[in-house]
Copies of this chain bind each other. A is one copy, B any other.
Amino acid sequence: MKNQLTHAIEDYLKAIYALSVEGEAASTTALAAELNIAPASVTGMLKRLAETTPPLVEYRKHRGANLTPDGERAALEVIRHHRLLETYLHQSLGFPWEDVHEEACRLEHVISEAFEERIDAVLGHPTHDPHGDPIPSPNLVMPQEASIPLSTLRPPQVTTIQRVNANDADLLRYLDEKSLVPGSKLEVRAFSPFDGNLTISIEGAEMVVGPAITHHIFVEEED
């Protein structure tokens, strides 16, 4: 008997999950920014989420919110939907990389477990979405993976892109064009300490990328 969560609530849970790294509580303002909602509205919703049965978040005034185990399970369910959908839209329906996020954001709240299972099967039980994010398992365990921002690498270094952390469609389109996608191998050739630019070589081509880009690209952790 899982009670039916609204779209709005699912979005809150997803946002709290995303913002509470390392067990740190997600702040009201950070949530407001993430959700494009006024901070006051977030306060109101957090109170409600803390008083549902079962409670989905743990909330302390002025101290932000954490997910309860129930809340986390619900969040992971939505994230699993989201990432499976992104993968499906891209692989099976030929959606461009940069468009899958928005579409998945709407569909994730609406698909049934049967739908989830079908696309999971059709895709062959994928482990990562097109952006390289891990897909929680059917029993809702989030694989833990270590990766570091490309911006932290110093030459000389060879590595592989693991994950691209961006939702902006224009940026994603650009990255795709330059093969800056999960799985691509690249070599870090030079670093400019003044502006943080890296000179990298990828797919045989050499290019210079600034922090606005390298910050969003995550690569294998070093040995």
A106, B118: Cα distance in complex, Å: 17
State the copy count for this chain: 2
Neighbour of A95 across the interface among B89, B95, B99, B114, CB < 8 A: B114
Interface size on A, residues (CB 8 A): 16
B119 x A111 contact (CB < 8 A):
no
Beyond A106-B111, A107-B110, list 18 extra A-B contacts (CB 8 Å): A89-B115, A93-B115, A93-B118, A93-B119, A93-B122, A94-B118, A95-B114, A95-B118, A99-B114, A103-B111, A103-B112, A103-B114, A103-B115, A106-B110, A106-B112, A107-B107, A107-B111, A110-B110
A106, B94: Cα distance in complex, Å: 22
Interface string of A173-208 (1 = CB under 8 A from B): 000000000000000000000000000000000000
A-B contact pairs, 11 of them (CB 8 A): A93-B115, A93-B118, A93-B119, A94-B118, A95-B114, A95-B118, A103-B112, A106-B110, A106-B112, A107-B110, A107-B111
4 tightest A-B contacts by CB? A93-B118, A106-B110, A110-B110, A103-B112
Set of chain B residues within 8 Å of A115, measured between Cβ atoms: 89, 93, 103
A112, B119: Cα distance in complex, Å: 18
User: Which residue of chain B has the shortest Cβ distance to A109 in the bound complex?
Assistant: B110
A95, B117: Cα distance in complex, Å: 11
Set of chain B residues within 8 Å of A119, measured between Cβ atoms: 93
Which residues from 88 to 130 on chain A have a C-beta closer than 8 Å to any C-beta of chain B?
Answer: 89, 93-95, 99, 103, 106-107, 110-112, 114-115, 118-119, 122
